[in-house]
């Protein structure tokens, strides 16, 4: 029995972790408990040494001193302030009026507002709950199909997962050891393409099933002409300016993601003041929610560090590498298997847990196979987006259920999400087929072909048999070791190169 445990420590650790989480134990504590228990078992079996745990304080301190993670509370706070200051309500009302005459106009408005909220809040829960409270009753009132309405709201809210400043992209960059700014640049175009696919689907439904997505009746379109133009400018311009303040400065290299997040949080406070919505109560709620989410992330990360310390100690990374690197099909086979694995795990785990547990195990294998890690991170981010959407544990579905009227059944919400999950899977395939969607906006690293590197040693003066000295000056003729004008003369040309090097080094020491 002990021999079996010793020979299969890595798979036993991973299987035990999955079992703990299926039973509903908190992820942070399941990770840490597995790391400690299997670490003690490894020490007892002689696979590990007690000194292993002495590295733990340094690893935990590394989490606490990680500057990249500072962006998480800033972006979370920014999103909560904007969501609770009524920005989503104003945007939905304005864009709903703008697209009102178009069949499916309210659904288009929800998608566009979801994209704008994603680029300003980065928090899925805030987007889904806001749009569920505001737009769902209106869509039901004007005869929208329940499945289409709920699916559009849930899917548009999850755009905050992939459109910067997404929290999961910050975590992904940290786990992959890459720049958050590069991860944001790589994710921007796929996020916009995914938004376009949502729009195309709604347009298709509006054409094929007009009754499922009607236009707003004339009496509901209260804003027209100059009033509508003023409303559009006052509602759309401030959030667009905030998007540029945050993402524009990051993309242009003016600010780091952490600095961009700080500016965004300050900008959100200014917008709330200008709207007359900032109060002590709102500020306290936003700060409490930010503290809870940040603590949640840090606890998971600390637990993941405890788990990975033991997992790497028993060479679990080599087990994963052997398991995945030798799959048939090379890179493509690896990508297919990994995406299926992520999709299945997303039924039970959310994106934080997948980022902290699975991504660190996959990254070394991907790098060994020559896969660009920024592209790989964006691909996994799009795939993880499905974790919010597919039953039975899709968090976006739960958020929407909590604010949907009782007349809408849970099964309707689930069925409404299915087409958008299929669209997200199609988007994964598009990124694999067209990697330039991610890489075209990135700065190319300077690549050096070592096979083409040529080292040229300067030749001696052809008119003289004297060797070239190490300081680049031609020595004067004379016997080795003789002094002429106070300088030591270099060894003769027939001296061994090794001796010349030794003498030069001796000279340097003097």
* Burial (Cβ within 10 Å: 0-12, 13-18, ≥19) of residue 54: exposed
pLDDT classification of 258: cutoffs 50, 70, 90: confident
Q: 3-state DSSP call for residue 483?
A: strand
Which pairs from 46-54 meet CB under 8 Å and 24+ separation? Answer: 47/6, 47/9, 47/313, 47/314, 48/310, 48/313, 48/314, 52/309, 52/310, 52/313, 53/309
pLDDT, tens digit, for every residue of 103-158? 888 888 888 888 888 887 666 776 787 778 778 888 888 888 888 988 998 888 88
Report the b/e string of 363-389 with b at 16+ CB within 10 A: bbbbeebebbbbbbbbbbbbbbbbbbb
pLDDT, tens digit, for every residue of 236-249? 888 888 888 888 88
d(CA 398, CA 340): 24
Give counts: helices (H), strands (E), the chain.
24, 2
pLDDT classification of 474: cutoffs 50, 70, 90: very low
pLDDT at 485: 47
Average pLDDT over residues 349-362: 80
Of 201-205, 264-268, 499-503, the one with minimum mean pLDDT is 499-503
pLDDT at 401: 83
Contact indicator for 64, 330 with CB cutoff of 8 Å: no
Per the model's pLDDT, the better-predicted residue between 500 and 253 turns out to be 253
Contact indicator for 31, 304 with CB cutoff of 8 Å: yes
Q: What are 330's two structure tokens?
A: 């090379």
Average pLDDT over residues 58-70: 79
Contact indicator for 192, 159 with CB cutoff of 8 Å: no
d(CA 33, CA 38): 8
Report the b/e string of 297-334 with b at 16+ CB within 10 A: bbbbbbbbbbbbbbbebbebbebbbeebeebeeeeeeb
Q: pLDDT > 70: what percent of the chain?
A: 83
Q: How far lies 325's CA from each of 43, 162, 335, 359, in Å?
A: 29, 27, 11, 15
Q: What are 357's two structure tokens?
A: 């547990």
Q: What are 412's two structure tokens?
A: 């309707």
175: which residues sit within 8 A by CB, 6+ positions away?
355, 356, 359, 360, 363
Of 34-38, 53-57, 187-191, 491-495, the one with minimum mean pLDDT is 491-495
pLDDT classification of 6: cutoffs 50, 70, 90: confident
When the pLDDT of each residue in the chain is averaged and rounded to a whole number, the result is 79
Residue 178's CB is within 10 A of a number of other CB atoms, namely 18
Contact indicator for 238, 47 with CB cutoff of 8 Å: no
pLDDT, tens digit, for every residue of 409-468? 888 888 888 899 999 999 999 999 998 888 886 655 444 455 555 566 555 554 444 444
pLDDT at 455: 62
Which pairs from 390-395 meet CB under 8 Å and 24+ separation? Answer: 390/346, 390/347, 390/417, 390/418, 390/421, 391/417, 392/347, 393/347, 393/348, 394/154, 395/124, 395/125, 395/350
pLDDT classification of 491: cutoffs 50, 70, 90: very low
pLDDT at 478: 46
Residue 472 has pLDDT above 80, yes or no: no
Residue 395 has pLDDT above 50, yes or no: yes
pLDDT at 470: 44
Instruction: Classify residue 462 by its DSSP letter.
Output: T
CA 158, 159, 162: angle at the middle one, nearest 5?
A: 110
Residue 170 has pLDDT above 70, yes or no: yes
| Strands annotated E in 256-403 | none
Average pLDDT over residues 368-390: 87
Separation of CA 45 from chain center: 38
């Amino acid at each position: 029995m002990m021999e079996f445990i010793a020979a299969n420590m890595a798979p036993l650790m991973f299987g035990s972790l999955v079992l703990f989480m299926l039973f509903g134990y908190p992820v942070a504590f399941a990770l840490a408990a597995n790391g400690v228990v299997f670490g003690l078992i490894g020490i007892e079996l002689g696979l590990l040494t007690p000194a292993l745990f002495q590295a733990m304080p340094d690893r935990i301190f590394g989490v606490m001193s990680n500057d990249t993670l500072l962006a998480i509370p800033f972006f979370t706070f920014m999103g909560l302030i904007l969501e609770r200051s009524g920005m989503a309500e104003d945007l939905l009302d304005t864009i709903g009026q703008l697209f009102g005459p178009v069949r499916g106009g309210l659904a288009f408005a929800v998608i566009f507002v979801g994209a704008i909220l994603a680029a300003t809040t980065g928090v899925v829960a805030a987007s889904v709950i806001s749009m569920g409270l505001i737009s769902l009753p209106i869509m039901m009132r004007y005869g929208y199909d329940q499945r289409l309405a709920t699916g559009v709201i849930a899917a548009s809210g999850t755009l905050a997962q992939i459109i910067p400043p997404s929290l999961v992209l910050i975590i992904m960059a940290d786990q992959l050891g890459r720049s958050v700014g590069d991860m944001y640049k790589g994710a921007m175009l796929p996020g916009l393409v995914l938004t376009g696919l949502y729009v195309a689907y709604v347009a298709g439904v509006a054409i094929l099933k007009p009754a499922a997505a009607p236009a707003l009746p004339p009496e509901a379109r209260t804003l027209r002409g100059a009033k509508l133009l003023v409303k559009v400018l006052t509602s759309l311009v401030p959030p667009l300016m905030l998007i540029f303040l945050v993402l524009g400065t990051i993309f242009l290299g003016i600010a780091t993601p952490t600095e961009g997040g700080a500016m965004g949080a300050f900008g959100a406070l200014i917008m709330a003041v200008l709207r007359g919505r900032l109060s002590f109560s709102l500020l306290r709620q936003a700060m409490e929610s930010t503290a809870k989410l940040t603590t949640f992330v840090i606890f998971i990360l600390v637990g993941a560090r405890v788990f990975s310390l033991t997992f790497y100690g028993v060479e679990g990374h080599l087990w994963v590498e052997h398991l995945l690197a030798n799959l048939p099909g090379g890179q493509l086979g690896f990508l297919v298997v990994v995406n299926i694995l992520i999709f299945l795990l997303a039924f039970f785990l959310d994106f934080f847990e997948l980022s902290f547990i699975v991504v660190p195990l996959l990254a070394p294998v991907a790098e060994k196979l020559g896969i660009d890690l920024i592209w790989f991170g964006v691909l996994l981010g799009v795939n993880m987006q499905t974790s919010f959407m597919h039953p039975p544990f899709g968090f976006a579905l739960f958020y929407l259920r909590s604010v949907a009227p009782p007349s809408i059944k849970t099964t309707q919400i689930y069925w409404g999400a299915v087409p958008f999950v299929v669209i997200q899977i199609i988007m994964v395939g598009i990124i694999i087929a067209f990697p330039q969607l991610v890489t075209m906006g990135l700065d190319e690293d300077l690549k050096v072909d070592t096979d083409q590197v040529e080292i040229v040693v300067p030749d001696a003066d052809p008119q003289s048999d004297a060797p070239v000295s190490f300081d680049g000056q031609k020595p004067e003729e004379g016997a080795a070791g003789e002094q002429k004008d106070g300088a030591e003369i270099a060894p003769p040309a027939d001296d061994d190169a090794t001796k010349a090097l030794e003498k030069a080094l001796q000279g340097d020491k003097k």
